[in-house]
Amino acid sequence: MSDFRRITQDRAVMGGKPCIRGQRVTVGMIVGQIGAGRSIDALLADYPDLAREDVLEALRYAAWRAEEREFDLLAGPSWDDELAEAVTRRAKTPSRDVAF
């Protein structure tokens, strides 16, 4: 993981979602608000405990997470779908290695 000093995760705070400095302000909320057209200044006015660097680091964190794994949405079933199908198929097949 990159060096994100302001992003914290704790199961006791917002169910473990990435938050800003242990507060109940999630990275997802910040990114969603910016994506909806709100300005950083408007966010800072609504959340006086936030600093500009908190918002910028939340955006950098979201960008970093988005780069972790890419999905080709047009490519049909994903590897996860194929794995789930194989596990289901295996569960329905009687085992031959059980001694009676």
Instruction: Please state, as a whole number, how many other Cβ atoms lie within 10 Å of the Cβ of residue 78.
Output: 12
Q: Tell me: the pLDDT tens digits for 36-73?
A: 999 999 999 999 999 999 999 999 999 998 887 666 66
Is the pTM here over 0.85, yes or no?
no
**Residue-by-residue DSSP string for 9-74:** -BTTBGGG--EETTSS-BHHHHHHHHHTT--HHHHHHH-TT--HHHHHHHHHHHHHHHHH----TT
Q: Are 26 and 19 in contact (CB under 8 A)?
A: yes
- The pLDDT of residue 86 is above 80: no
* Rounded Cα gap, residues 53 and 28, in angstroms: 16
**What are the sequence ranges of the domains in the chain?**
7-92
CATH architecture of 7-92: Orthogonal Bundle (1.10)
